[in-house]
Structure 1
């Protein structure tokens, strides 16, 4: 494909979902005098993978007042829903049984898009994913999949993680089968599943919940089985969202993971003895993690991810009451079954055109075989950039401009979100934000955490000097 040079900009942002759009919003609020170019295949900003859905059943999983984008206006999204978008009037089902508002996810994307459009910041959108990044004198050259190319003085990686991959051993007939859905978020993916199909879903988290809701909305009447190692489902919200204060450094010392876990368990027991809910304690942990996580060694962080992450995820990433009710009804009717176990193999029975899936139930030595007409992979995206199929990451790794973190969560950055190369040196003008930085910052998945991070990054970008005009490594290689 021919590359077309479309000009220059002060800042290029790879990824125009919430992370990238939030960065632009905070740069505008900082009155940064910058021209910005987004590389976003959807062609519109603020939606990304999470909020690019028109399905009204796909709801945000926290109350609207907790989707805080601006620290000085924490309920701005709620006010937009009530007074600008009229969500209560046009979407009566948005009001949950707990009295809180859970708008459709697409509404949040529209809110971010409108807030960004209201700021007089020069923004260009390249409607394509970035494919190649090269260091040049005084900045970077970015080339998109559609052939467009531009030069930027600075660059921020705000990508989402890589596309989901099917990690289990399969026979050749399973690969590419039309009813093996590796990515349920692809347009019309669920349309390949028959309404009477016996469906087996890998994963029991938020994506599974969205998949079940989507199938039932399409009139699915066949049985659905969801399987994960522990069979844990996302938990419900409570009545209170005020975090219980947790001292991240009791006695002036940061507790290690084991001691911190004992503190949390003690607080949960205390809350139960007082007749309080557990959710405010988890919110307190969430608030304390940005201080505690960076103090832990990589070995301690790896141990936490291995042993505690599944339990943290189900308590931290909770479901809206509306979606919880759908799952509860499906389970009570017997249509939805949740199994705790490990996948030991997947094959296709060609005589019946059905899948045979070996599952070893948790606590058992013997594997059982389950049959299914359709398979859906809901274990989530690939966070390890070394396994990513994205040519952008593979190219950056090959050029040693970035380095994968040792936890397999994204890229290596410093505390200011500056990207580190393979020699652990800061790459001038190159930054990363959002989920790609979890190895360093821990909890960078929710809207409030990403908004706080991008607000801080906007000040770093405004303050940092521009990359010096000199021969870049890419230019040096081209001269050899």
Structure 2
């Protein structure tokens, strides 16, 4: 790879992943890089996660872990102090997500000032990216194109379309209109997207019953300010089957708790090895994890701020929120209500239940089947064979150095991907602490040509 061949880099997607990559590229010692950042919404650094409107839609990592730079962990906290934002728990504060979006915008602005004239930002939709012997050509919806040496896909999370003919709605969507504050509401899914829906209802002073339906009926756990335990890599059972590593993990939790520690310390202590564990597993083990373990892992790994968790626990205890472990089957219109059909877990197939509610919120989370992507550039790449889904279809197939792998398998060194689109290779690549490392590593490679 020749550094001189990577002077013009086009990044498709201006959410957290795209902004972090652009920032790390502009901060490279090389002065030859020119970066074009393309985002169809025209808002840079916000994406799905950091454009949330409610103040209590908060990041689920404390301020101390949200710096854009792994080698300067206090950067975000210093920025927060300069804003005058209330920080009741110091660097353990969980800030509003929209505020973090502002931080990313500021970081991008500062990086651009370091390299005047080297950053171009475009508010356009990308339809396709084509590779040629000299680089890439990015086709825009306005009929123009961008020529460059390298293209990077940083399209971030893609939200699943709401289920059941649009009767179920997304939080904050145009059809999420005001409802009777005493009406019964159903939320599909019990992960972090459900927390967003519950917060929106709480901020609207909703007092009616809220039914939360998910496969396992589990609430995300709450954070606690405890340090991670130190785990030696030699003690981690890489490459073993799922049963073995789960027994090892549970034994480590019991041992830690018996010594007066907290299970969170084990989950966080394992974090530096999560990607390596995933990559050491066979495809069969990965599938088993996604099917049987991921819901339980997610509620412990992707936790919510302590005060929000306590509010949710209180809402369940008071009876306003009811957790239902089961399967959502269908929803239809019934007069001015939505009639949802569910089957509770453990019951036979014919034991269905219908419930009339004023609103169904679909909080099934982000799309994890890249074959069903609504993004035109992803669809075009897969259809043309320039990219292929990973073995589990949860993202695009990439190398460990983020090269996009085409259908025939030979990488070109001209097309890369970062962020959640690479989850099939890295799995744990959805939070800032992981994405910033991935982006910094790729930026060094593109700047140095090695």
Relative to the length of structure 1, the TM-score reads 0.86
**Residue 143 of structure 1, CA deviation:** 2.2
Contact 1:21 1:45 in 2 (8 A): yes
CA shift, 1:208, in A, is 0.7
Q: How does 1:35-184 map to 2 (within 5 A)?
A: 35-82=34-81, 84-88=82-86, 95=88, 100-119=92-111, 120-121=114-115, 122-167=118-163, 170=164, 175-177=165-167, 180-181=168-169, 183-184=170-171
Q: Which runs of 5+ in 2 are unaligned?
A: 1-5
Change (3 A) 1:462 1:246: same
User: Would you say 1:229 and 2:227 are equivalent positions?
Assistant: no
CA distance in 1 between partners of 2:330 and 2:189 (Å): 15
Distance 1:449 1:227 in 2: 30
Contact 2:67 2:77 in 1 (8 A): no
Q: CA deviation at 1:189?
A: 4.8
**Residue number in structure 2 paired with 1:195:** 181
Distance 1:252 1:395, change over 3 A: closer
Matches of 2:123 and 2:364, distance apart in 1? 28
Aligned mate of 1:431, from 393, 398, 416: 416
What corresponds to 1:468 in structure 2? none
SS at match of 1:416: coil
**Quick one: structure 1 residues 289 and 252, their matched pair in 2 at CA, closer, same or farther if it must change by over 3 Å?**
closer
- 1:442 is the counterpart of 2:427: yes
User: Can you list the C-alpha shifts for 1:335-384, whole angstroms capped at 9, x where unaligned?
Assistant: 221111112222222xx232222211112222221111211110112121
1:378 matched to 2:370? The reply is no
CA contact (8 A) 2:131 2:414 kept: no
2:404 is paired with a residue of what secondary structure? strand
What is the CA-CA distance between 1:320 and the residue it aligns to?
0.8
Give yes or no for the alignment of 1:361 onto 2:357: no
Aligned length: 438
Return the offset for 1:252: 8.9
Q: CA RMSD in A?
A: 2.2
Separation in 2, partners of 1:78, 1:443: 24
Q: Which residue matches 2:10?
A: 12
1:364-420 Cα distance to aligned partner (Å, 9 max, x none)? 222221111211110112121111122211111111000001212100001100010
Match of 1:259 in 2: 244
Contact between 2:77 and 2:91, CA under 8 Å: does it hold in 1?
A: no
CA contact (8 A) 1:9 1:150 kept: no
1:253 Cα deviation from its structure 2 partner: 6.2
| Pair 27,303 (structure 1): closer, same or farther in 2 beyond 3 Å | same
Distance in 2 between the 1:99 and 1:458 partners?
28
Alpha carbons of 1:147 and 1:377: their partners in 2 closer, same or farther (altered >3 Å)? farther
Taking structure 2 as the reference length, the TM-score comes to 0.91
Contact 1:198 1:373 in 2 (8 A): yes
